Each structure stands twice: as C-alpha cells, then as structure tokens.
Amino acid sequence: MRTTYVAGNWKMNMDREGTVALVKELVAQLKNCKNKVMIAPPFVYLDLVSQLVKGTNILLGAQNCAATDNGAHTGEISVAMLKDLGVQVVILGHSERRYEFGECDELINMKVTRALAAGLDVIICIGELLAQREVGRAEKVCERQLNSALMGVSKEQLSHVTIAYEPVWAIGTGKTATPEDAQQIHSYARKVIAKMYDQEAADNIIIQYGGSMNVKNYKELLAQSDVDGGLIGGASLKAETFIPICNG
C-alpha cells in the first residue's frame, strides 16, 4: 500500500506574518493526519518554518536547489545549505522552472542526483504542454522527462523519489485534468518506472497529481488507483483549502 502524500508548493507567495499564522494552524490541525504532508515555503522563510515544524509530522520542503556544491554561484542555494536548515525534501523539474527559467532535462537530472546523494528526498515534476497533449504526445513527453531526470538514480535511491504529474496547462489555470486523464498518465508513468527499474519499484513509487487541485476536485482525483496524492499550489496557501486535501 502506498502512502497518500500531499505537498504544498507555496511558490513566490506569503510574507513572514502570514507564514507564521498558516504554519501554526497547519501544525495544530494536522497533528493527527494519517497522510504524509509537506510544505515548501520560499527560501527566505525556510529557517522560520523549520523552527515551527520541528518535532511535528509536517515535512519541510524547498522549491529548488543548486546543481552544484557551495562556491562561486551567485544567487544559488546549495543542498548543504538546505540540509543545514532542516529541509528534508526538494521539488525539482517544476514546469515554472523548466519554462520560465529555462531548466533543461540535463540540469534537472544534475539537481536530482545531487539532492539524493546529499540524503534529501525529491519530488520530480513532469508534465506536458497543451500543444503536446493536443497532438497526442503527453505520454511520450512524460516518459522522456522521467528517463532523463532519473538517469543515474539507483533503485535504492528511488525510494527517496516522488513523481508529480503536473500537466502544464492545468497549473494555476483552474483547469484540472479529468480524473481519467490523470489516471492514464499516472499509470503510464508507473509503467515507465517498471521498465527502468522493476515492477516492485513501480508499485512502490508515489505519484502525485498537481494542477489546480482544490477542495472541490481532490476526492475524485485521489480516488484514481494510480493517483497517490497531490502537489498543491494555490490551494496550499490557506489552511481551509489545504487541510481537507491533506486529510485526503
């Protein structure tokens, strides 16, 4: 049985005061949550959130990391720095990083292998553009992204990897993939993992759905047999919209 895993990707949102209020509420209200929950605030609030979630069942995530070790890399944040702050998970390959900041498959793979080698868990985001879906290439795009992101990742390390299927056209747009669309790609991604590793690895890997998941649609999405959780953007910014999804 795979655990349900719900992660909140705050992106470039919130301020110090809102962060403290939201995290305190999540800590209080999720203390008996049976699912795995992670929140990924902006880098500048990681230290603050780290203090607030210490000793609780909420995992601390970062939204990105550098592909290189400490050194002369202006503006970058290394995995060592993240670990120093108590970060346990890093989100990599998000479509906003791919398309807004030009991150290619090769760079994402460098980040994945570096984070795993440092002992961090990773969430690898994959997903097709609308134009790719319209010409029937959604599965192939996701397969290429998985093959590339996981290059050099051992089966043992794969237990520290979560996949997030996020169709790019559904992110922050209010358009959600239908539960059937999500299920189709999730099941395909699992087959890709079986091909790359083996059936056991495929059966065990957690595959989250992301893209306008909210209080209205999460139940139907999570009811799909290969949808094991969610990577939540907009709805993770308020306790009343995030907590119900966390409780799944």
**Residue with token string 């720095």:** 81
Nearer to ligand PGA, 28 or 130 (CB): 130
Residue from 61, 127, 211, 248 touching ligand PGA (CB under 6 A): that is 211
Instruction: Provide φ and ψ at 151, rounded to 5°.
Output: -60, 125
User: Is 233 annotated as belonging to a binding site?
Assistant: yes
Q: Is 177 in the site for ligand PGA (CB under 6 A)?
A: no
Q: Which residue is listed with tokens 């305190």?
A: 24
**C-beta closer to ligand PGA: residue 143 or 166:** 166
Question: Cβ 13 to ligand PGA, closest distance in Å?
Answer: 10
Q: Is 119 in the site for ligand PGA (CB under 6 A)?
A: no
- Candidates 103, 128, 143, 166; catalytic one: 166
DSSP 155: H
Contact 143, 188 (CB under 8 A): yes
Report the amino acid identity of residue 239: A
Nearer to ligand PGA, 30 or 221 (CB): 221
- In which residue are the tokens 């559904």 written? 170
- Cβ contacts of 153-157, under 8 Å, gap ≥ 24: 153/112, 153/113, 153/116, 155/197, 155/198, 155/201, 157/116
From the list 23-31, 55-63, 217-225, 233-241, the region that binds ligand PGA by CB under 6 A is 233-241
With contacts defined by CB under 6 A, name the span among 12-20, 25-33, 78-86, 227-235 that binds ligand PGA: 227-235
Among 65-73, 115-123, 141-149, 165-173, which window interacts with ligand PGA (CB under 6 A)? 165-173
The number of angstroms, rounded, from the C-alpha of 167 to the middle of its chain's C-alpha atoms is 13
160 is catalytic: no
**Type of residue numbered 217:** N
Nearest distance from C-beta of residue 236 to ligand PGA, angstroms = 7
CA torsion through residues 224, 92, 170, 185, sign: negative
- Which residue's entry shows tokens 């079986």? 194
Cα 147 off chain centre by: 17
Q: Contact between 226 and ligand PGA (CB under 6 A)? A: no
Q: Which of 231, 239, 243, 246 binds ligand PGA (CB under 6 A)?
A: 231
Catalytic: 106?
Answer: no
Active-site residues, by number, are 94, 166
- Binding residues vs ligand PGA (CB under 6 A): 9, 166, 171-172, 210-213, 231-235
Give the residue ranges of the annotated binding site for substrate.
Answer: 9-11, 172, 212, 233-234
